[in-house]
Amino acid sequence: MKTILLVCSAGMSTSLLVSKMQKVAETKNIESDISAVSASEVDQIMAKKDIDVLLLGPQVRYMKPQFDKKMAGKNIPVDSIDMKDYGMMNGENVLAQAIKLIENK
């Protein structure tokens, strides 16, 4: 089971990307728990479940240094979602990015 958390400013715009990623994961038989939250909710979510990777939407990529510091020592990779993949809602590419980060940690 791969637990992927997408972070955006309000948690709304990323929900469409989450559903596209979930569809791709289903077709590829990848067991996953993919969700989207606002940047302010990350701590609450992490208190409830173990996260394998944290992906930041383009609108919050400026927060990467903060999240890098927060995830240091937890073995949770943090990366920004490619702006083009986000804009095109390319669930396949974003899922591939998440899996690659999980496998390389």
For the chain, the first-to-last Cα distance in angstroms comes to 15
Reply yes or no on whether the pLDDT at 12 is more than 90. Answer: no
Whether 101 shows a pLDDT value over 90: the answer reads yes
Two tokens, residue 35: 């969700």
What does the pLDDT read at residue 20? 97
For the domain made up of 2-103, give the CATH fold. Rossmann fold (3.40.50)
For the stretch 19-26, contacts whose Cβ atoms lie closer than 8 Å and that sit 24 or more positions apart, written own/partner, are 19/91, 20/89, 20/90, 20/91, 20/92, 21/91, 21/92, 21/94, 21/95, 21/98, 22/91, 23/91, 24/91, 24/92, 24/95, 25/95
The mean pLDDT of the chain is: 94
Domains of the chain, by residue range, sit at 2-103
- How much is the pLDDT for 50? 94
Span 32-72, pLDDT tens digits:
999 999 999 999 999 999 999 999 999 999 999 999 999 98
pLDDT band, residue 11 (cuts 50/70/90): low
Catalytic residue among 5, 6, 7, 8: 8
- The yes-or-no answer on residue 8 being catalytic is yes
Higher pLDDT, residue 10 or 68: 68
CA 3, 6, 10: angle at the middle one, nearest 5?
140
Is the pLDDT at 105 greater than 90, yes or no? Answer: no
Confidence check: pLDDT of 102 > 80 = yes
